[in-house]
Structure 1
């Protein structure tokens, strides 16, 4: 049995191609399925089956499109009320994929109808656990409905125990979530590989003998998750169409200027330092970089399904279109180029200062506010005395609460603060972007309130 791992670090997820050297099963493919097809081509195998562990809450699946493209059988839990044709699969069903035996195991918790798959080839076994058993943790249990969270947490506790009882200790474990995904509910270990036996020794969901304690601790440590999650399950239930990854023709200067004048969302993909130094008035900064923060925060912060225009290099725009398609944001327009003055000569170019902690200590007057745009749980752990906390994902809805006067905006690394500074400037505020690691604040001489 061979397993090809298809990483999506932008969302903290993995998809898998499992094959016997001839035919293959794909589990939890992302919407940009060309990566999966390439993996199958590189392995010289034919995809005959595509399986979902659950109706996903954090991305739009590529399963339906991949099955149609390859002629594969599409396996989805028979209890899921989906609006497309698939082959229903349920707890205990065994499917043969070439020389592989694939057993479905009901593992409710992350969702009510979650399945895991135990794949066996001769004496070798691998477990594909989706959002059930993760490396060091389990999938979060609060994504379905608040009224279901306690029951799903109890289900999760029981499910992972059942899953390991039906698996070999030496079986390799392959979860979909847990690599930075907000679908992880606890202290995911950061490991890149593990086995069932290793998780039995170290995973808090398996080592905690007290179910009530586990339920209390897991729920108490659940933090905010992206608002776009609310749109993923409906899209996956309806059956998403294939992604369109083409880069559109670049807008001309007049049209870009018209969109900015009309208050449309124009997103500058350049790094936050370049954006702060010069950008078109009215644009907002979502640094693309390697995309690891871009998709999550853009989908979380900006209004859902409003027209987007991406501004940046051809490569960044192309990558951003791919990333956004994974969360159902389709067909953004683009203005290709990295010189704001040339992109829209009829729009003013503006800037705001960027500083570090030492400069803040030297320059900031005591009457100027610090705005902390980290999550509430981060703020509660430690923060600057007197800092105002409005999490980035709440900022657009709470602009009326933003203090007057110049604002010194910070987060954990500088990324979220860069987004917030651009949103605040767009709304007419005078900002300083603290482009600094919060972990370095105290060593730089900044006093903090802990706990």
Structure 2
């Protein structure tokens, strides 16, 4: 059986895969930071023979072109994709070889028009299916990224693609999707379990258990939620082909320069924990904790192409942020400052705001809920105002000019919102608490009332 190495990109909810026969490797849907891929190849003594991509990605900048250039491997992508660089166009029914591995190309439109899956056989065992954004674990990739007007059409295409894949192999075939581990490219929450089989998916996948195409399409479309704004930039970038990622340290920023950037209204992002940021931060910065969702929310909120300056506790923290950002095409920070707030700015520029739990919210407090509308539709704090985080800056005038207690589901998004409110001169309290605590305290009702 062909061996498969999974390269997890938890921050974006995606996986790349290296499938090999012990000597020859096929890399499927590589991310931009290729050192993780080359480490697997080097440690196992593999030669990269093929770089295959299931589709032109919407949620990250591909590393496929650069990996093919660096290794001399053949680079295969769907033939229907209008790419600006040399590659091997792959159509339904094409076959490729890499040592003992045999690859069948299967057209699987739905997530995008130009989408394929790769069915790999070879070695002493069974089949491995690399399904990209078509058949995910328990669900399928979202069908609304091409054009809103085509969502129903592509949802139906997803149904047919899933059924086609289900008929291509036995139950023990292993399924390896690219999306579905927290990615907004997934149409619904999907399991994080390591590897599932085609038999598992036949038993539980929504596309394979719904009684009809009509029922599936209606359910799929009804469950779609907002997706990050930066997705609009990824397709064009991947069609053009991305060069190598530059992860060298950004230029240092002195306190006076940092103050000037803030005064000009530039984005200055503090990477420290949300509790550290609340307790002490440079006024005019935005706190986006360097955690799993970091790049997603920076890419969702910052105007595309705007200069971005980072503040961190250490050079390592800055480097980790760079790695996440380069995956979504934010190539080079405009600079970075390392140290405590009073070290990177004048002490007079350092400020704070309080944090609290749901149990601390006083009666009559103005509560702002920055969860998505689909979350809020299932319930919210009674009397709260609903403005999703990604709309907060545009709707800032609709937030009352008084003390605001802001929450989300866990505290992460609320902390970003608190920074935006603080930068706008609002009096804010961060509710750094799990939403279940609000339910336990009897503060909620369903459905929620209020704005948006």
Q: Using the TM superposition, name which of 246-255 and 45-54 deviates more.
A: 246-255
Aligned-pair Cα RMSD in Å: 1.2
How far has the Cα of 1:348 moved from its partner?
Answer: 1.2
- Look up the match of 1:256: 258
In structure 1, C-alpha distance between the alignment counterparts of 2:69 and 2:328, rounded to whole Å: 20
> Which secondary structure does the structure 1 equivalent of 2:208 belong to?
helix
In structure 1, C-alpha distance between the alignment counterparts of 2:63 and 2:99, rounded to whole Å: 23
- Structure 1 segments, 4+ long, off by >4 Å, are none
Q: Does 1:399 align with 2:396?
A: yes
- Look up the match of 1:90: 91
- Look up the match of 1:5: 6
> Which secondary structure does the structure 1 equivalent of 2:19 belong to?
strand
> Which secondary structure does the structure 2 equivalent of 1:317 belong to?
helix
- Look up the match of 2:77: 76
- Look up the match of 1:373: 370
In structure 2, C-alpha distance between the alignment counterparts of 1:447 and 1:372, rounded to whole Å: 12
- Look up the match of 1:153: 155
Aligned 1:70-149 pairs, distance under 5 A: 70-122=71-123, 123-149=125-151
In structure 2, C-alpha distance between the alignment counterparts of 1:338 and 1:385, rounded to whole Å: 41
In structure 1, C-alpha distance between the alignment counterparts of 2:217 and 2:348, rounded to whole Å: 54
In structure 1, C-alpha distance between the alignment counterparts of 2:192 and 2:58, rounded to whole Å: 21
- Look up the match of 2:23: 22
Q: Does 1:385 align with 2:382?
A: yes
How far has the Cα of 1:202 moved from its partner?
Answer: 1.1
- Listed one character per residue, the Cα deviations across residues 279-299 of structure 1 (whole Å, up to 9, x for unaligned) are 1110110000xx311111111
Check whether the contact 1:254–1:346 (CA below 8 A) recurs between aligned residues: no
- Look up the match of 1:163: 165
TM-score for both structures, normalised by structure 1 = 0.97
- Listed one character per residue, the Cα deviations across residues 250-308 of structure 1 (whole Å, up to 9, x for unaligned) are 211221121122221110000000100111110110000xx311111111112111000
In structure 2, C-alpha distance between the alignment counterparts of 1:79 and 1:20, rounded to whole Å: 29
> Which secondary structure does the structure 1 equivalent of 2:56 belong to?
coil
Q: Using the TM superposition, name which of 80-89 and 439-448 deviates more.
A: 439-448
In structure 2, C-alpha distance between the alignment counterparts of 1:187 and 1:14, rounded to whole Å: 15
> Which secondary structure does the structure 1 equivalent of 2:377 belong to?
helix
Aligned 1:178-217 pairs, distance under 5 A: 178-217=180-219
In structure 1, C-alpha distance between the alignment counterparts of 2:405 and 2:43, rounded to whole Å: 50
In structure 2, C-alpha distance between the alignment counterparts of 1:347 and 1:322, rounded to whole Å: 32
In structure 1, C-alpha distance between the alignment counterparts of 2:144 and 2:21, rounded to whole Å: 37
- Look up the match of 1:438: 435
Q: List gaps (5 residues or longer) in structure 1.
A: none
Check whether the contact 1:270–1:338 (CA below 8 A) recurs between aligned residues: no
TM-score for both structures, normalised by structure 2 = 0.96
> Which secondary structure does the structure 1 equivalent of 2:172 belong to?
coil
Check whether the contact 2:382–2:443 (CA below 8 A) recurs between aligned residues: no
Check whether the contact 1:127–1:173 (CA below 8 A) recurs between aligned residues: yes
In structure 1, C-alpha distance between the alignment counterparts of 2:251 and 2:266, rounded to whole Å: 18
> Which secondary structure does the structure 2 equivalent of 1:201 belong to?
helix
Check whether the contact 1:140–1:222 (CA below 8 A) recurs between aligned residues: yes
How far has the Cα of 1:187 moved from its partner?
Answer: 4.1
Q: Using the TM superposition, name which of 252-261 and 375-384 deviates more.
A: 252-261
Check whether the contact 1:335–1:343 (CA below 8 A) recurs between aligned residues: no
Check whether the contact 1:90–1:104 (CA below 8 A) recurs between aligned residues: yes
In structure 2, C-alpha distance between the alignment counterparts of 1:309 and 1:295, rounded to whole Å: 14
- Look up the match of 2:411: 414
Check whether the contact 1:137–1:189 (CA below 8 A) recurs between aligned residues: no
How far has the Cα of 1:216 moved from its partner?
Answer: 0.4
Check whether the contact 2:246–2:332 (CA below 8 A) recurs between aligned residues: yes
In structure 1, C-alpha distance between the alignment counterparts of 2:266 and 2:158, rounded to whole Å: 43
> Which secondary structure does the structure 1 equivalent of 2:374 belong to?
helix
Give the length in aligned residue pairs.
445
In structure 1, C-alpha distance between the alignment counterparts of 2:319 and 2:426, rounded to whole Å: 32
Q: List gaps (5 residues or longer) in structure 2.
A: none
How far has the Cα of 1:347 moved from its partner?
Answer: 5.2
Which residue of 279, 289, 307 maps to 1:287? Answer: 289
In structure 1, C-alpha distance between the alignment counterparts of 2:310 and 2:143, rounded to whole Å: 34
Q: Does 1:236 align with 2:238?
A: yes
- Listed one character per residue, the Cα deviations across residues 397-437 of structure 1 (whole Å, up to 9, x for unaligned) are 11121111110100000000000000011011110110010
In structure 1, C-alpha distance between the alignment counterparts of 2:7 and 2:214, rounded to whole Å: 36
In structure 2, C-alpha distance between the alignment counterparts of 1:189 and 1:318, rounded to whole Å: 29
Which residue of 221, 224, 241 maps to 2:223? Answer: 221
